[in-house]
Amino acid sequence: MDLLRECRSGLDSDSVPELPELEVLREYFTPRLANQAITGVWVSPKLSFILRTPPDDFAKELQGGTIERIWRRGKFLIFDIDSHHLLINPMLGGRLQWAAASEKVSKDTLFRLTLSGGDELRFLDSVRMGRVYWVPAGALPTVTGWAELGPDALEVSQSDFAHRIRRHPGELKNLLRNQAFVAGIGNAYSDEILHRAELLPLRKRSTLKPDDVSRLHTATQQVLGEAIAAIRAQPHYVPQKQDRSFMAVHGKGGQKCPRCGHRISELKARGETTNFCRGCQH
């Protein structure tokens, strides 16, 4: 089963998996992978473009290891394997596949882990923009961007949120996507959160009053939590084509706002789409 979809031709940044998709993946993989031994490792020569350790060492050190825990921080999925961490940030073109060993291997496959149960965990990346790290326990701060990550967007408290937001000037959409502020939010869910909070994406953080900040925090928790529940309820968890039809405004430019009926606006810049409602976001 494909758990993160292959990007369509033309590469749409809105397909990038964010916190809700990765949290559901974590839930899916935990009972399937925990305590399984890695009995075989296949590595593509193409993996060298995205792997932050020599491919030969990667394969040799993974062989015979046991997957002890699967967890997530922001947009990273982390697999604890003996005394190491395998970190995967899918980015734009990456996806994970849980497959029978006999299933046809895609040309985009970069590595395959054969497990003691007989199935395989595969990582595919059609554009080789993902990031894969293999680091010893205790070396997570050496992973690019890890030390700068803010608290997980799903777990940050209201007081911490309000304290941290004062450090980050600029427009609200960029603020929510800043992984140093809170980790896990990208282009799609920032639109949804701002719509729920009734705040315009281009509004400056400095214009927010305490009630606005509180509403933004509440919206963040609600939107991410509801998205996880919606994705979890989809057949096979996450289908091959990422289904975000549950979203209120993102990807729905020109349609009616479900809250006020106003037409949803759409802005495009640098390959990214921003959607919002001028009728009820202020």
- Sheet containing 67-73, strands listed edge to edge, beginning at the edge strand earlier in sequence: 67-73, 76-81, 84-89, 131-136
pLDDT of residue 9: 30
Res 104: pLDDT: 94
Tell me which residue of 157, 179, 168, 163 sits closest to 73, measured CA to CA: 179
Spell out the domains of the chain, with CATH numbers in brackets: 13-142 (3.20.190.10), 158-277 (1.10.8.50)
Tell me the average confidence (pLDDT) per consecutive run of 10 residues in the chain, 282 residues long: 37 75 93 95 90 88 96 96 95 89 93 96 90 94 94 97 95 97 97 98 97 98 97 67 88 97 95 95 96
Segment 172-180 long-range contacts (CB within 8 Å, at least 24 positions apart) = 172/199, 172/200, 172/201, 172/202, 172/203, 172/204, 172/205, 172/208, 172/216, 173/201, 173/202, 173/274, 175/205, 176/220, 178/150, 179/74, 179/75, 179/145, 179/148, 179/149, 179/150, 180/148, 180/149, 180/150
**Which residues are paired to 42 by β-bridges?**
112
* pLDDT score recorded for residue 207: 97
Q: Say if strands 94-100 and 84-89 run parallel, antiparallel, or are unpaired.
A: unpaired
The token pair that represents 254 in the structure block: 């020109």
**pLDDT the model gives residue 10:** 36
Q: Tell me, what's the pLDDT at 241?
A: 54
Q: Are 249 and 239 in contact (CB under 8 A)?
A: no
CA 275 to chain centre: 19
